[in-house]
Amino acid sequence: MTSISEHFEFLKAPLNNIRWSWGAVQPDDKIVVLRVWQDKERKFENGRRVIDLRQEYQRDSQGLPEREMHLQRLKEKAICFLVTCEAADLTTVDRNIKDYDEDSLFRGGDLYEIDGDWFIERFERISSRLVRSTSYRGQASNRQVTHK
């Protein structure tokens, strides 16, 4: 398995910092690739599966400003893909990645703001190779943003 930073390089979305960056934007288009924790997935009453995008951050986190920028890009209809990571220890705030799925990603959907936390809907699984290709370049998301 390649390192997570090498995986982001493969996806043409290099991380700014391999320790605290939780996502990246492909430099030549509007595709945002985010790392998300597998255990932060929830199922809404309507059956939609969502992943918490901000829960892992403390207010003094070095990665928080970058995540805020990613959220802004998503609100502006950037296409989003999610790299699902498994935490080595679920009980610690400063998590390390035990494992991740390097073969596929999930497509991110609608955004929800609930009590100050942001969630993104998890759509279908897509091959990492497809995301690396030019298939999604120039497309815009039809994402809805909901505040509750």
Handedness of CA 4, 131, 73, 93 (dihedral sign): negative
Q: Can you tell me the distance from the alpha carbon of 70 to that of 123, in angstroms, rounded to the nearest whole number? A: 18
Q: What are the tens digits of pLDDT across the range 4-58?
A: 999 999 999 999 988 888 899 987 667 899 999 898 888 877 878 888 876 555 5
Q: Can you tell me the distance from the alpha carbon of 105 to that of 56, in angstroms, rounded to the nearest whole number? A: 20
Query: Which neighbouring-strand residues pair with 34?
Result: 23, 82
Query: Which neighbouring-strand residues pair with 100?
Result: 85
Under DSSP, the state recorded for 102 is S
Domain count, the chain: 1
Q: Can you tell me the distance from the alpha carbon of 119 to that of 44, in angstroms, rounded to the nearest whole number? A: 11
Range of the domain at 26: 4-147
Asked whether the whole model's pTM tops 0.75, one would answer yes
Nearby residues of 91 by Cβ (< 8 Å), 6 or more positions away? none
For the stretch 30-40, what's the b/e string if a residue is b when 16 or more beta carbons lie within 10 angstroms of its beta carbon?
bbbbbbbbeeb
Q: What are the tens digits of pLDDT across the range 137-148?
A: 545 566 666 766
**What is the CB-side half-sphere exposure of residue 107 using CA atoms within 13 A?**
15
